[in-house]
Amino acid sequence: MSELAFFSGTMDCGKSTLALQIEHNRSARGLQGLIFTRDDRAGEGKLSSRLGLVTDAVEAGPGVDLYAYVVEQLSRGGKVDYVIVDEAQFLAPEQIDQLARIVDDLDLDVFAFGITTDFRTKLFPGSQRLIELADRVETLQVEAMCWCGARATHNARTVGGEMVVEGEQVVVGDVARSAAEVGYEVLCRRHHRRRMTSATARAGSLSPDVLPVVSG
């Protein structure tokens, strides 16, 4: 039976790499997939991983009806055996509904990949809808690491190396950008709460962590 599967995790945990691996494995068996993506770091209409792998994809911009797109491909005689969606957190909730319809009405597997929360620790609307609708939700086992060595659980947006907590929910950036640009960094909860990035941690001599003192 076909299913809608959502693979989630922080940045740097290998989501896009897994998407490309699924595409490779299935295409090697003679199956043909349709790949959607949104705002990939490599540019419009690309699915890329930080390992340097990249393939062409369909840009799922605002207003694109994903179900109608697949139906059109099939009606023209095209072959679609499965659907892969990367950067699924950027999709609108109604586009996630369309993915569920692809599974239910067209009997195709849909593999969606994305991060769950933004730099403010708030759920992306697309990810929230995936959690609500997916037949299967899996957290990737490749753990990203905070600068301190602990498991990274939160995504932070940085400007000039300093963490920011205000601004538009979607601003395309990357962990490899220079400190002067808008970028992203994965942090453990402790350092996300303290807004302590790798750059600010190096900026001064840090005193040992102490328990907070509450007066009264």
* pLDDT tens figures, 83-123: 999 999 999 999 999 999 999 999 999 999 999 988 888 89
pLDDT of 144: 81
Rounded Cα–Cα distance for residues 62 and 88 (Å): 12
Spatial distance between the Cα atoms of 111 and 136, rounded to a whole number of angstroms: 10
Does the pLDDT value for residue 175 go beyond 60? Answer: no
Between 152 and 34, whose confidence is greater? 34
Determine which helix (DSSP H) or strand (DSSP E) holds 23, and give its type and residue range: helix 15-27
Q: What is the mean pLDDT of residues 24-50?
A: 84
Confidence of residue 213 (pLDDT cuts 50, 70, 90): very low
Per-residue pLDDT at 210 exceeds 50:
no
pLDDT more than 70, % of the chain:
84
Higher per-residue confidence, 212 vs 88: 88
Give kind and range of the element (H or E) at residue 126: helix 125-133
Q: Give the bridge partners for 46, in sequence order.
A: 56
**pLDDT at res. 131:** 97
CA gap 212, 150 in Å, rounded: 21
Residue 200 confidence (pLDDT): 86
The strand ranges marked E within the chain are 4-8, 33-37, 46-48, 54-56, 58-59, 82-85, 109-114, 136-139, 154-159, 162-164, 182-187
Length of the chain: 216
| Confidence (pLDDT) at 176 | 52
DSSP state of 82: E
Query: Is 87 noted as a catalytic residue in this protein?
Result: yes
Q: How far is CA 9 from CA 80, 81, 113, 184, 202, in A?
A: 27, 26, 9, 14, 27
204: buried, middle or exposed (CB in 10 Å: 19+, 13-18, 0-12)?
exposed
pTM to 2 decimal places: 0.75
Separation of alpha carbons 76 and 71, rounded Å? 9
Supply the pLDDT for residue 74: 97
Q: How confident is the model at residue 143 (pLDDT cuts 50, 70, 90)?
A: confident
Q: Pick the catalytic residue: 59, 72, 87, 185?
A: 87
